[in-house]
């Protein structure tokens, strides 16, 4: 009797693969969020030995694929065979595709790892590693760090800008490379609490003007004029106009206007960046500044700002390690009607996709 019990104890219960599974992608050189932001893959393994799958990838091209077929589990080896139907859209044309599929996976610790099959695993040197987790057990990345002191400083910054009766600055946004290899943007901001705002920017590359943008508002109406759009004037919501300009010339089109007109935006800077860390204190132009690192890993947004500890105005900002925005702000000074008057910029070389605003291009 004891021998029978011992023999039964040695017989392992087969692993149950039935149910829904969700893939997590790990790409060499990218974070977990970045690896899984633009692609997804789900499998449903049924008790009758059949399976279905849905795959999407939105990197450079849009791929959507639906799979179905049968599977066989032998020990820790899982073999899926069947057919696929999908579409590939590269922005120029959309193709319908169909074909045979043959996936091999291996089970370990309750997870399934793709061994072969599919365009990720065809190359032995592939940078992509794919592991399937049971739905509901997928690991959730930890939230970004949120330092209380940093949060308090940013909220004070938001309060100062939102309370300005008037504001003006002139600044630059440039790469650290030497001209003519680098590029530079000169910009200005003019604002009166009567809901009048004007932002203009001129970009130079290799010493030549390559882009000019203008955004202005009066009351509840806002307009924009983009040189690459032929200088045409469009009436659009202020947030949309500024995001369009930011897409063309840089984040300086968004950061300060966002702070000056928070009611015109769908969310505050504090909400746009759940990660807020006080990096330290540095001097900018002889003024002690708190350096805040702002991040939103889910949307791949990162911003560093240098806040004057005395005035709580932003003196510098950077989204990239090799590019810096420098501000020269003046608060509650006099403004003339000319300061707030918008105008169309000269036409540049138009591109078809600029003929209409594209909408949200992200937050500052």
User: If pLDDT is split at 50, 70 and 90, which confidence band does 222 have?
Assistant: very high
Tens of pLDDT, residue by residue over 37-62, are 888 999 999 999 999 999 998 877 88
| Residue 9 pLDDT greater than 50, yes or no | no
Backbone angles phi, psi at 36, to 5 degrees: -110, 5
User: If pLDDT is split at 50, 70 and 90, which confidence band does 5 have?
Assistant: very low
User: If pLDDT is split at 50, 70 and 90, which confidence band does 31 have?
Assistant: confident
pLDDT of residue 107: 94
Provide the token pair at 163. Answer: 């309370």
The most distant pair of C-alpha atoms in the chain lies apart, rounded to whole Å, by: 100
| Residue 326 pLDDT greater than 50, yes or no | yes
Indicate the CATH number of 13-134 among 2.60.40, 3.10.350, 2.40.128, 2.30.30.
2.40.128
**Domain boundaries, given as residue ranges, for the chain:** 13-134, 148-354
191 near 301, Cβ under 8 Å?
no
pLDDT of residue 126: 63
pLDDT of residue 354: 33
Overall average pLDDT of the 87-93 stretch = 84
Domains 13-134 and 148-354 fall in the same CATH topology: no
pLDDT of residue 327: 96
User: If pLDDT is split at 50, 70 and 90, which confidence band does 355 have?
Assistant: very low
Q: How far apart are CA 231 and CA 190, in angstroms?
A: 21
User: Taking Cα atoms as reference points, which of 330, 337, 341 lies closest to residue 217?
Assistant: 341
pLDDT of residue 124: 53
Q: How far apart are CA 224 and CA 9, in angstroms?
A: 75
Enclosing H/E stretch for 164: none
Provide the token pair at 29. Answer: 């050189």
Tens of pLDDT, residue by residue over 234-279, are 899 999 999 888 888 888 999 999 999 999 998 898 898 999 999 9
Residue 195 contacts by C-beta under 8 Å, 6 or more apart in sequence?
217, 218, 219, 220, 261
Q: How many other CB atoms are found less than 10 A from the CB of residue 274?
A: 16
- Strands (E) located in 60-139: 61-74, 77-89, 94-108, 111-116, 128-134
Phi-psi label, residue 308: left if phi above 0, alpha if psi -120 to 50, beta otherwise: beta
pLDDT of residue 349: 52
User: Taking Cα atoms as reference points, which of 152, 77, 157 lies closest to residue 117?
Assistant: 77
161 near 259, Cβ under 8 Å?
yes
User: Taking Cα atoms as reference points, which of 245, 211, 236 lies closest to residue 345?
Assistant: 211
- DSSP annotation of 206 reads T
Tens of pLDDT, residue by residue over 301-310, are 889 999 999 9
Angle formed at CA 238 by CA 233 and CA 243, multiple of 5 degrees: 90
Strand partners, 78: 73, 105
Provide the token pair at 153. Answer: 């400083």
**Which numeric CATH code is attached to 148-354?**
2.50.20.10
Provide the token pair at 189. Answer: 């901001």
Mean pLDDT of the chain: 85
pLDDT of residue 176: 65
Cα 248 to chain centroid distance, Å, stands at 16
User: Taking Cα atoms as reference points, which of 104, 70, 100, 102 lies closest to residue 85?
Assistant: 100
Q: How many other CB atoms are found less than 10 A from the CB of residue 302?
A: 17
Residue written as token pair 């630059």: 172
| 85-89, 139-143, 233-237, 349-353: segment of lowest average pLDDT | 349-353
| Residue 324 pLDDT greater than 60, yes or no | yes
* For the chain, percent of residues with pLDDT exceeding 90: 57
- Residue 191: C-alpha distances to residues 64, 96, 342 (Å): 46, 51, 12
Q: How many other CB atoms are found less than 10 A from the CB of residue 8?
A: 8
> pTM for the complete prediction?
0.68
- DSSP annotation of 146 reads B
Tens of pLDDT, residue by residue over 147-201, are 999 999 999 999 999 999 999 999 998 876 554 456 789 999 999 998 799 999 9
């Amino acid at each position: 009797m004891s021998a029978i019990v011992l023999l039964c104890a040695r017989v392992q219960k087969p692993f149950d693969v039935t149910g829904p599974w969700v893939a997590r992608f790990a790409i060499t050189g990218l974070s977990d969020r970045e690896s899984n932001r633009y692609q997804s893959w789900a499998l449903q393994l049924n008790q009758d030995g059949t399976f279905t799958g849905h795959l999407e990838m939105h990197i450079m091209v849009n791929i959507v694929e639906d799979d179905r077929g049968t599977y066989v589990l032998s020990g820790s080896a899982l073999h899926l065979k069947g057919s696929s139907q999908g579409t590939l859209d590269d922005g120029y044309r959309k193709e319908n595709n169909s074909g045979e599929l043959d996936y091999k996976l291996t089970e370990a610790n309750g997870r399934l790892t793709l061994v072969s099959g599919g365009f990720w695993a065809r190359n032995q040197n592939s940078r992509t590693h794919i592991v399937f987790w049971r739905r509901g057990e997928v690991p959730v990345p930890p939230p970004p760090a949120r330092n209380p002191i940093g949060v308090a400083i940013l909220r004070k910054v938001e309060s100062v800008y939102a309370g300005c009766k008037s504001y003006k600055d002139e600044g630059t946004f440039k790469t650290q490379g030497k001209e003519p290899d680098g590029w530079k943007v000169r910009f200005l901001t003019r604002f009166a609490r009567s809901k009048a705002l004007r932002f203009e920017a001129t970009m130079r590359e290799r010493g030549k003007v390559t882009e000019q943008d203008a955004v202005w508002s009066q009351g509840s109406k806002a307009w924009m004029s983009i040189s690459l759009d032929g200088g045409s004037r469009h009436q659009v919501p202020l947030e949309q106009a500024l995001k369009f300009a930011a897409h063309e010339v840089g984040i300086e089109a968004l950061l300060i206007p966002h702070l000056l007109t928070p009611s015109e935006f769908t969310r505050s800077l504090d909400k746009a960046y759940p990660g807020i860390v006080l990096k330290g204190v540095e001097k900018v132009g002889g003024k002690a500044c708190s350096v805040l690192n702002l991040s939103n890993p889910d949307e791949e947004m990162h911003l560093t700002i240098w806040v004057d500890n005395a005035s709580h105005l932003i003196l510098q900002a950077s989204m990239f390690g090799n590019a810096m925005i420098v501000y020269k702000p003046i608060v509650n000074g006099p403004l003339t009607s000319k300061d707030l008057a918008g105008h169309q910029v000269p036409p540049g070389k138009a591109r078809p996709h600029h003929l209409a605003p594209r909408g949200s291009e992200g937050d500052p």
